[in-house]
Amino acid sequence: METQKSTRQSANPWTNLPQEIITEVFLRLPVKSLLRFRCVSKSWHSVISSPQFRKTHLEISTRNNIYSHKNLIFGSGAPPTVFYTCSLYPKVDEDHSMDTVSFDYPSSDPDDEIRIVGSCNGLICVALDPCNVILWNPATRKYRELPFSGVTMFNRSYGFGYDVFNDDYKVTCIDHNPAADPAQVHIYSLRNDLWTSKDWSHGKVYDDPGVFFHGAVHWKVYYDDFRGDWDVIAQNLTTETCSNVALPVPRIGSGVEVKLGVSRGLLCAFHDRGSYMDIWVLKEYGVQGSWIIMVSLPYSFLTRHPRHIRPKILFVSENGGILAQLGSNLIMHKHHHCLETYPLIDNIEVEATTYIESFISPDFDHMWS
């Protein structure tokens, strides 16, 4: 009997590895694999479920910028919603298998429209009309409904990000109620499970939602007064103060020609100049001279699509590959030609974003326990 037990142990090389080595291997595996491995043994479950392991797993995934933890997620805006996910590893111009994940929030109104506000550290912020906001981790299938913010108007804009100083996730909501003077910005803290409000004097948000980068939510705002001007405002989530961000191109007209985004850990500016879209990346945050053009995306290959529809850039790879959403299609483009056009959902505008797989929970008690 003892011989048979020894034989089984020797056949499984994992039993002979030190726990430190096993942990190091686990820290570099995707979340889906780790969720399965929790069921192998009590010791593995204990390691994978510890808060410190989950934080370290996120740090390694983010620091190394390994695309095996970076995913694309997309789906229609009408519930019941099934989102589709695929990995961005190793390149955006290679085929990927699609997985499905249900958004299990029990909406009581079948007419609710789902909007993806943004993603941060594996959490995706989802807004449902008229006034529900949900934090959701599609890898672990956990979600949290935020308390009512007090904003009942439909004309509001959301942003989502991480306050590193306070180890807190925050949602910002700018109220565009014309009866409110001055305008208000409402800020939700996951740590405190509470909304706070303060005056907003930085213009009307032009593009929704806000873009999180470098500890701040970035808004493109328009001043509807004699200036007729627009700016980019960075709302710091720790200090809750705002500052201006210089862009690589001068202000033009109403500002519709420039949109903001984040890809590969860099702030991006997408400048629509008619027949092309210039994709700029900011190599050094806060330094205007460090903006460089990564690639120019021609619109000539979009002849089959309505001219008024412009692509939403989802990802820009190091080799110049571009992943973009165009209406209900997914576009892969590289080296001045379109590689593939994939229909996502027939004739339906989709919600799409990229996110990193993590164990971060939208439930505060589980995050820091």
Count of CB atoms situated within 10 Å of the CB of 138 = 22
pLDDT at 366: 45
Angle at 197 between CA 195 and CA 201, to 5 degrees: 145
pLDDT reported for residue 174: 87
**17 Cβ neighbours under 8 A, 6+ residues apart:** none
Bridge partner residues of 338 (DSSP): 333
**What's the predicted TM-score (pTM) here?**
0.83
Residues with pLDDT less than 50, the chain: 1-2, 4-10, 90-94, 253-254, 339, 343, 347, 366-369
179 and 164 Cβ atoms separated by less than 8 Å? no
Question: Rounded to a whole number, what is the distance in angstroms from the first to the last CA of the chain?
Answer: 42
> What's the confidence (pLDDT) of residue 162?
95
Strand order in the sheet with 322-326: 312-316, 322-326, 329-334, 337-343
CA dist 132 and 143 (Å) reads: 13
Tens of pLDDT, residues 181-191:
677 899 999 99
Q: How far is 27 from 33, CA to CA, in rounded Å?
A: 11
Cis-peptide, bond into residue 178, ω within 30° of zero: no
Question: Which pLDDT score, from 0 to 100, does residue 170 have?
Answer: 96
Produce one character per residue of 329-358: b if its CB has 16 or more CB atoms within 10 Å, e if not: bbbbbbeeebeeeeebbeeeebbbbbbbbb
* Cβ pair 171, 225 in contact under 8 A: no
Domains of the chain: residue spans and CATH: 2-49 (no CATH), 62-367 (2.120.10.30)
**Burial letters 290-319, b for 16+ CB under 10 A, else e:** ebeebbebeeeebeebeeeebbbbbbbbee
pLDDT of residue 320: 66
Structure-token match 């789906």, residue found: 75
**Which residues, in sequence order, are CB contacts of 130 under 8 Å at separation 6+?**
152, 154
The pLDDT value recorded for residue 223 is 73
In degrees and rounded to multiples of 5, residue 290 shows phi and psi of: -95, 5
Among 209, 211, 247, smallest CA distance to 231 is for 247
pLDDT tens, position by position, 193-225: 999 998 888 888 876 789 999 999 999 887 765
Joined tokens for residue 351: 């919600």
SS3 (DSSP) at 263? strand
CA-based nearest residue to 260, from 239, 226, 235, 227? 235
Residue given tokens 């111009």 in the structure block? 93
Residue of 355, 352, 323, 310 whose CA lies nearest to 75? 352
